[in-house]
Amino acid sequence: MNILGINYGHDASVCLLRDDKIEYAITEERITRIKHQAGLPIESIKEVLKRVKPEEIEYVALAWFGPVKNFNTLFTSAYWRKVAVYKRPFKLLPPWTTINEVKILRKLGIQCPVKYIEHHIAHQFSSIAQSGFKKCLSVSIDGWGDGKSYYSTLWENEELKYIAQNDRFSSLGSFYSMATLLCGFESNEGEGKTMGLAPYGKPTLLKTFEKVIAYKNLKFYTPERFFRFYTKMKGYQLQLMPDSKILEVTKNVKKEDIAASAQMHAENLVLQLSQDLKDQYGVKKFALSGGFFLNCVANGKILSDLKLDELFIQPHAGDGGLALGAAYKVYHELTGQLPQKQVDQIYYGNEFTDEEIKTAIKKHNLKYETADTGEVAELLSKGKIVGWFQGKDEWGPRALGNRSILGDPRRAENKKIINNKVKHRESWRPFCPSLLEEAGPQYLKDYHRCPFMTMNFSVVKDNIPAATHIDKTARPQTVSRQQNPKYYELINEFKKITKVPVLINTSFNLQGEPMVHRPEEAIADYLKTEMDVLVLGNFLIKKRK
């Protein structure tokens, strides 16, 4: 059975499911190079059609923004008269309607039935299906989708049982996006920066933020309306606008204190919710999804404070993961089944042959040699910054050793070097450690396997300063030989040289750009930055002075 899952909102994506196995999945931005690309992911669908004939697709699972059928309540009619949202065929309808999308699918030769899956249901199935849990509590939290901003259920006996939900106005995700705007970052883009900035500040606005959004009886609510959905559009999205009252209250507050206050308040609220769900239902396994749960600090608190048996966060927790969730929801409708084993690797994208890589290298007249992991480890141990491009693209926003920039975590100066001279971003931004799975308990307090960088832990050793944040924490990737043999071998070779089984790992991209997808993009970033070495598959390139 072939099911094509599609998300056509922001972070548009596809997922090709063959029975219960993922054959291919990617976010459209990787191919088009437009960050958070929205609309029908046509280029990604074309990639799918290289792997399966259109007539072999039996169902399309479309993650649906259903309540936007009442879009007049969300947007001003003047907006639609003045702005063309997408430069694409069939511009007559707003981007969240589905008629145009189905027409385009038909033009691509996909004639099968289309099933529409509600936004938060797709989120929930994305985490449940990959968790392998037979029984768990499932929570999805985001800005909003389908008119909802939070949804909780009990997964039991292959059935999703409703518990509670919030509308889009009492939104924990939108609260955090509001704080992100107040910190001077972009909403739906800079929330990770807010989280990273928080340890530099003090929660001086906690009492104020408690008036913005609060929690009671398995729901969030807004005691005072400090933020609102303003009807002005930014690109294709509703622009979240803080109320004038909150702008006045925060105008002389340090950005890091705003971030610290928002982070602490968000953690407190989601911990209260999670604790109450656990107590009321007696279930100690959670599956989490929705863009809010890209907040690895809050996730780490849920794991440690609630003493859970298991916690699984969908690696592509934001809307990009909807394609996968929608596909699995349709598969479950048709078969009554989901995978019984937790996913252990998420390399679902494109892989490039040696010949394709060599062609890209020759276009730039670069000299190359055969890559040896021992030599690469030696270069890393000498302080070299390495671009590492291997195998298939990772699914989701985290680099997991296939599209990564790597460095020596022992050298504190590497944090500044990579931020300033390679990534071209704020110098305070933290980096993640990739560490051998068996070394996890030596480095991380209250260790829990974390192959997808979805949780935060306290670091108990002081020999990896470049991969440890200012508050002595880190968002690690634990690496097993089974998950990624070549990356495991590289870290192990580095360990043989340095006695440290850890590397700095950050995504292979410049600030504001999607992660590199093709060899050509990796080479371009390498040449534009002060990266010392580039490893493309089996080939090694060094900068010549």
Same domain, 250 and 360: no
User: What pLDDT is stored for residue 231 in this prediction?
Assistant: 42
DSSP string, 207-230: HHHHHH-EEETTEEE-SS--EEEE
Q: How many CA atoms lie within 13 A of 520 on its CB side?
A: 7
144 — pLDDT class (breaks 50, 70, 90): confident
Same domain, 277 and 411: no
121 — pLDDT class (breaks 50, 70, 90): very high
Same domain, 105 and 169: no
User: What pLDDT is stored for residue 87 in this prediction?
Assistant: 34
68 — pLDDT class (breaks 50, 70, 90): very low
Same domain, 369 and 455: yes
Same domain, 480 and 381: yes
Give domain status of residue 410, yes or no: yes
Same domain, 426 and 299: no
pLDDT of 88 higher than 50: no
Residue 165 corresponds to which tokens in the numbers above?
Answer: 């939900």
Q: Calculate the average pLDDT of the chain.
A: 92
Give domain status of residue 515, yes or no: yes
Same domain, 142 and 114: no
- DSSP letter at 72 equals G
User: What pLDDT is stored for residue 511 in this prediction?
Assistant: 92
Burial of 109 (0-12, 13-18, 19+ CB in 10 A): exposed
Q: What is the CATH number of the domain that holds 101?
A: 3.30.420.40
Overall number of domains in the chain: 3
pLDDT digits (tens, 9 = 90+) for 178-210: 999 999 999 889 999 999 999 999 999 999 999
User: What pLDDT is stored for residue 84 in this prediction?
Assistant: 34
- The pTM assigned to this predicted structure is 0.92
Out of 315, 334, 368, a domain closes at 315
pLDDT of 53 higher than 70: yes
Give domain status of residue 524, yes or no: yes
Out of 292, 315, 338, a domain closes at 315
Give domain status of residue 243, yes or no: yes
User: What pLDDT is stored for residue 227 in this prediction?
Assistant: 63
For the chain, give the percent of residues with pLDDT over 90: 85
Burial of 245 (0-12, 13-18, 19+ CB in 10 A): middle
Task: Choose between 451 and 86: higher pLDDT.
Answer: 451
Closest CA to 222 of 246, 238, 199: 246
Give domain status of residue 256, yes or no: yes
Alpha helices (runs of H) in 394-482, residue ranges in sequence order: 413-417, 440-443
Give domain status of residue 341, yes or no: no
Helix axes 172-182 and 255-281, enclosed angle (nearest 10): 170
H helix or E strand, kind and range, residue 367: none
What mean pLDDT comes out for the span 257-267? 99
Same domain, 72 and 178: no
Same domain, 135 and 272: yes
pLDDT digits (tens, 9 = 90+) for 363-417: 999 999 999 999 999 999 999 999 999 999 999 999 999 999 999 999 999 999 9
The domain containing residue 437 runs over which residues?
Answer: 354-542
Give domain status of residue 334, yes or no: no
Out of 268, 284, 315, a domain closes at 315
pLDDT of 158 higher than 70: yes
Same domain, 151 and 98: no
Same domain, 293 and 441: no
Same domain, 287 and 358: no
H helix or E strand, kind and range, residue 449: none
pLDDT digits (tens, 9 = 90+) for 1-10: 999 999 998 9
Q: What is the CATH number of the domain that holds 379?
A: 3.90.870.20
pLDDT digits (tens, 9 = 90+) for 217-256: 999 999 877 666 544 445 444 556 777 888 899 999 999 9
pLDDT digits (tens, 9 = 90+) for 410-458: 999 999 999 999 999 999 999 999 999 999 999 999 999 999 999 999 9
Give domain status of residue 483, yes or no: yes
Look at residue 414 and give its three-state secondary structure. helix
